[in-house]
Amino acid sequence: DVNDIENELPVVTHVTETIAEAPVGGIDSESQDVNIKLDLVAAYIDMDDKEGARELLEEVIKEGGEHQKTRAKQLLDDLA
């Protein structure tokens, strides 16, 4: 019977609290933006637009996390 099944299902109340506490547009969003810039750098390099690639890499160095900064510095060295 449906009522028996409903009574056996666990009630989850903490999910909405967890979602409400989650940061909006936080680090994950910023990290994703920087990753997009790194993807664009590859496109700029493919188009032989080294200056555009350098500008984006400088932004990544200013805005990115440690791994992203390291990658950007490596790419800058490769462009030199």
Each residue's pLDDT tens digit, 2-33:
555 555 655 544 444 444 444 445 557 788 99
User: Do the domain assignments include residue 31?
Assistant: yes
Q: Identify the domain containing residue 41 by its residue range.
A: 25-80
pLDDT at 20: 42
H or E element, residue 72:
helix 66-79
User: Do the domain assignments include residue 40?
Assistant: yes
User: Binning pLDDT at 50, 70 and 90, where does residue 46 land?
Assistant: very high
Pull the structure tokens for residue 78: 């490769």
Regarding pTM above 0.75, the answer is no
Half-sphere exposure of 75 (CA within 13 A, CB side): 28
* pLDDT at residue 69 tops 70: yes
Whether residue 52 contacts residue 43, with contact meaning beta carbons closer than 8 Å, is answered with no
- In this structure, which amino acid lies at residue 21? E
User: Do the domain assignments include residue 75?
Assistant: yes
Q: Can you give the CATH number for the domain in which 34 is found? A: 1.20.58.2200
User: Do the domain assignments include residue 20?
Assistant: no
